[in-house]
Structure 1
Amino acid sequence: MNLKNLLQKYKNGEIGIDDTQARIRSLGYVPVCDVANIDTFRKHRTGIMEAVLAEGKTPEDILEISKAQIGATGRVLITRLNEDQSSCLENEFGSERIDWGIHHRTAAVHDGTNIVKTGGVVAIISAGTADIDVAEEARMTAAEMGCETVKIYDVGVAGLHRLLNEVKNLESDRPDAVVVAAGREGTLPTVVSSLFDVPVIGLPVSTGYGIGEKGEAALYSMLQSCSVLSVVNIDAGFVAGSFAGRIANTVAAAREQTNSVVIENQQGRS
């Protein structure tokens, strides 16, 4: 059932408003090349947009899926790209239609459609330079959700003074949520959570070697944190960015509503 027929049934009184809403929420997927059913309605349903995971896909599949998503929503986020896939995107869309993350591992491709800003603010912190690709995936995800993003990279606990030098700047930016990406022993999220009064999301990264290699030590360390934080899976930049974006957008909506009430009260007294 398409949206027009659904609305006609509601207009004719054949279905009620609650049933109409439930059916609208189930609409919005587009089959692509017999390899995908992209969820074009996801952002309206959940607040988090559909994204394309590049791993396991051919460059040609990524192009077709991206074109379909752009046709439906104007923008598409693509994560975990390799060099061949990134080159294919560049050749097809051109640099003016792609917003790249550092090292071209994450990309937002668009037709000129701008991101609708929500007023939410998300800070992204990385412990080391080896963690930046995963941190960038989180940052670009939050940005695509309409959040302003603040990035602070390479401030791990091996040189804690680097983080302390950034604390004042972070306090002035007043993020609504913070994502902290760290590999090795994964200590940085615990430290950050002990310094700030906003939700912190630990993002373990599969850097490091030895007995706790591939992000396992970082994951266990974050789960065992003595300060309060949430933790996502290893290298799950999209999940961390989405969670932070959802928090920030919820806070921003509440802030806007509060400001509206204050303005109405002031106008009522004047």
Structure 2
Amino acid sequence: MDLHTILDRFANGSLSLSDVEKEISIHAIEKIGDIAKLDVGREMRKGIPEIIFAENKEYKDVIKIALAAIRRNGQTVVSRIRKTELSRVANALKKNSLVVEVGRKSTTLLASDKSFGRKMIGAHIGIIAAGTSDIGVAEEARLVAKAMGCEAMVSYDVGIAGMHRLFPALKEMMAQNVGAIVVVAGMEGALASVVTSMVDTPVVGVPTSIGYGFGANGIAALASMLQSCTLGLAVVNIDNGVGAGAYAASVAKRITRK
């Protein structure tokens, strides 16, 4: 629950004072056996829900942690699920009467209770992917932003090899007054600098591990973005769509806060 929900429930009598104290304690954790400790107050403190990094976790542990997080907070993001287990994880969550959205070409999903009322607060971000191979990382950013109550305008496969594809997308994002733009690009990663040079909106660059030969696995894209001479570009780690989505949504939410 976020702070507004907690206070609303206290005001209408559905939460006691002791319940409120428990909810807002920065020390509040929920132990899940001996495998995990949920930071149950994170969403209230930061506006970012529990995100479960699944890559090196066993299937049964992923499910156990996800169900506990949803029981406590109504939703969770599960990122970087093994491709061989993606369908299995998604189906297991659906069998628990949960709403599950899997990102396009992605191994990340957003799961929530059917009764969960996600507050879309009017904040908007843009997400641009240079190529089709970058969509999976871009979808990570979109799902995290959605979990934070932030809507995303997306435009995929608009890299610099065909620059004319980019302009309509940027024009629409500027017309919608997005609070930040996430640019996802592999190979030489130049798209992030190009976008930053054309807008007055904060841009978050996400280098991806798409590429081969010299500077492969995202090294060239990361170096290019870090060396950008265009001001207004922040850069996250290679393939870190989750971090980019959280940062961009945080910026957009701050802008819309009354």
Q: 1:208 aligns with which of 208, 211, 219?
A: 211
For 1:1-270, what aligned pairs fall within 5 Å after superposition? Answer: 24-94=24-94, 97-112=99-114, 113-228=116-231, 229-253=233-257, 257=258
- What letter corresponds to residue 116 of structure 1 in structure 2? K
Q: Distance in 2 between matches of 1:142 and 1:209?
A: 30
1:114: Cα distance to partner? 2.8
Give distance in 2, aligned partners of 1:73 and 1:227.
40
Output the aligned Cα RMSD. Answer: 2.1
Structure 1 residue 24, shift from structure 2 partner: 3.9
Shift of 1:165: 3.1
Q: Give the gaps of 5 or more residues in structure 1.
A: 1-6, 11-19, 258-270
Quote the Cα distance in structure 2 between the aligned partners of 1:210 and 1:202.
22
Give, in angstroms, the shift of residue 50 of structure 1. Answer: 1.6
Using the size of structure 1 for normalisation, the TM-score is: 0.83
Structure 1 residue 33: Cα displacement = 3.1
- In the alignment, structure 2 segments of 5+ residues that lack a partner are 1-16
Q: Please give the alpha-carbon distance, in whole angstroms, between the structure 1 residues aligned to 2:79 and 2:186.
A: 19
TM-superposition CA deviations, 1:46-72 (whole Å, max 9, x none): 222220011101111110001100110
What is the CA–CA distance in structure 2 between the aligned matches of 1:67 and 1:156, rounded to whole Å? 38
Which structure shows the higher helix fraction?
1
Summarize deviations over 1:107-161 as a string: whole Å, max 9, x none: 1111111321121101110011111111110111111100011001010111111
Provide the C-alpha distance between the structure 2 equivalents of 1:185 and 1:136, rounded to a whole number of angstroms.
20
Structure 1 position 189, deviation (Å): 0.7
AA aligned opposite 1:107: L
Native 8 Å contact 2:182 2:244 kept in 1:
yes
Counterpart code for 1:33: G
Aligned length: 238
Identity %: 40
